[in-house]
Amino acid sequence: MNRAEIQWSLKNSLVHSRRHRARDFPYFRVLILALLFRAILDVGYVGFVVPIFGYDGFVYEMAPLRYAISLLAIGIAIWCLMVSRKSVLIYVYYIVFLLVILPATTFYALGGANQYSFFANLIVYCALVFFLPRHKGEELKNDLKMAVDRRVIYTSIAFILFCAGFLLISSGGNFVLGFEDVYEFRAENTQVGIFAYFTNWATKLVAPFLLASAIVRGGMMRIGLALMVIFLLYALTGHKSVLAPIGLCAIAYFFNGGKSGGSRNAGVNPGFFLASTGALLAFTVLIYATYVIYENVLFPSVFFRRTYFTPAFLNSVYFEMFSRQGFVYWSNSFLSPFIDYPYADTITHEVGAYLGRDGMGANTGFVASGFMQAGYLGVAIYFIAVASLNYFVARFGSRVNPVIFNSILFMPYLTLFSSSDLPTTILTHGLGLAAILLAVLSKKVKIKGRSFSRPSSIN
């Protein structure tokens, strides 16, 4: 082969690679939709959150340079997602991008966020996405007909029934239905001890797993019963996040082939990225319209204030508070026998007091929690831990039904990035249990047996 032929071959290969990448991940279309979503977030923050909840610390501070940087950050984050589009975790990280990273760019540009908080979260997220484990070649199949071990399903049902019974007894038969009453209900029915773990596992892991299993196995009765379980857990706990897996499971099912199942390269269905962004954009516009037209503040408060901007706000507060008052070095956790804890109350309540809200618990994601523990060293330690966790769960992705795989991980990962310290997410919010469940479902770890099957090839 002469030099001209070699150059032509390389050029043709590059063109083919670009076309294939564009089909897998339509970068510019996703970017345009993301920017439109960002625009409605900006409008919601300035037009709703600041006027209604300014007393909570939400301020309007428009800075042109920050605004330009925030838009550039969106483009960089989406580029990292495109690079890792063949990771089995790409759907999970894209949902995190929509619900956590995009709102944070608005708060950085318009809310006077702590710049170190913003850049730390952005860098950690982009680095985690860029280094997501990616399967080689075409080996990862999104086959919806992959079997689900019935023993796991029956065990999950028994666990849900046990938790529901305990919640019903402990609350004295009380329950909540309206969103406006959930905070008062939760204050009166706080779970402690081992049952607090059980409740979190039931709502964030087991219930989504049962719904995903019902959708995959088919049958309106199975799906209806799974939905009843989710609504029951919402009524008994008052946690609105229990309802989120309904939409997430449906999206994961539809964009992995629906009833037809079949095979598809991992994370390369462009419809997921476009439709999930478009659906969230339309939903957010509708929520804002309820405020503009009907002056209803309940649903805009739930989504704009609580879901979109409170995590970014508290991230900023954590960086500000602990950069001034010093770090705790896990003295509130496993190093408590060796290091004196510097506060009289829990971390979350100390942050609440710092904000002038005594008695309020203020949680944040793992990046700000890592900073709280040991500054940027703590952020680096947590980054390495989460990257290792990504690799661990991705080992099982090719052998677990993709709807179930994503449904199990959506809520723990969202909690990790938005509202919980890393050890707390692993233990209390079910991320560690999710990894074990995936190992069992993949049949690389057998329920009865001592052998471990060889993992699939991941680079």
Q: What is the pLDDT of residue 257?
A: 56
Contact 411, 205 (CB under 8 A): yes
Contact 300, 44 (CB under 8 A): yes
User: Which tens digit of pLDDT belongs to each residue from 383-430?
Assistant: 999 999 999 999 887 788 888 888 899 999 999 999 889 998 998 888
User: Which tens digit of pLDDT belongs to each residue from 87-129?
Assistant: 989 999 999 999 999 999 999 999 999 999 999 999 999 999 9
d(CA 88, CA 133): 8
Q: What is the pLDDT of residue 417?
A: 96
The encoded tokens of residue 205 equal 């892991």
Instruction: Report the amino acid identity of residue 408.
Output: I
pTM, to two decimals = 0.87
HSE of 404, CA atoms in CB hemisphere, 13 A? 31
Which residues in the chain land under pLDDT 70?
Answer: 1-24, 135-148, 182-183, 187-193, 255-268, 444-459
* Positive or negative torsion for Cα 100, 102, 105, 106: negative
Which residue has tokens 């939760």? 186
Tell me the β-bridge partners of 135. Answer: 458
Q: What is the pLDDT of residue 4?
A: 56
CA distances from 192 to 46, 184, 279 (A): 38, 17, 37
User: End-to-end alpha-carbon separation of the chain, Å?
Assistant: 31
